[in-house]
Amino acid sequence: MENASLEGAETVADVVTEPGEQNPNEAEEDQQAPRRSSRESRPTERMALYMQTEFEKGEKKLSSVYNDWQFNVKKLRNFLRTDSDHTDIAETSDTVKNYEQRAQ
């Protein structure tokens, strides 16, 4: 009769646990991350091309914003070196704020 209960058991823990109890081996499996392939993930040619074009777009935008910022910093330095009235300073301040928002 005991042999009948052992036939369906794969491990000793399956035999020892009572019906309704969780097998300790099953609990360990639940806590582990799902099994993943050991192969390295590589994008397809089409995805690699898409990623490259998106990178170039971002790089171009960053370069454009940086060049605009650099030009305006030089312009602002020259402006601050000269004597200016308060309205000119306020306009320049607004321009700088606009470039800050654009950069974000």
The full DSSP string for 63-100 is: HHHHHHHHHHHHHHHHHHHS---HHHHHHHHHHHHHHH
Within a domain: residue 39? no
pTM, to two decimals = 0.47
For residue 102 the two structure tokens come to 């654009």
Which residue range forms the structural domain that includes residue 89? 45-103
Within a domain: residue 9? yes
Tell me, yes or no, whether 49 and 19 share the same domain: no
pLDDT at 72 over 70: yes
How does residue 1 score in pLDDT terms, banded at 50, 70 and 90? very low
Tell me, yes or no, whether 75 and 97 share the same domain: yes
pLDDT at 45 over 90: yes
Q: What is the pLDDT of residue 22?
A: 59
Question: What is the mean pLDDT of the segment spanning 77-99?
Answer: 77
Q: What is the pLDDT of residue 89?
A: 74
The rounded distance, in Å, linking the Cα atoms of 68 and 71 is: 5
How does residue 75 score in pLDDT terms, banded at 50, 70 and 90? confident
Q: Which residue type does 104 have?
A: Q
Q: Which residue has the higher pLDDT, 62 or 11?
A: 62
The rounded distance, in Å, linking the Cα atoms of 75 and 97 is: 15
Tell me, yes or no, whether 54 and 94 share the same domain: yes
Tell me, yes or no, whether 59 and 90 share the same domain: yes
Number of domains in the chain: 2
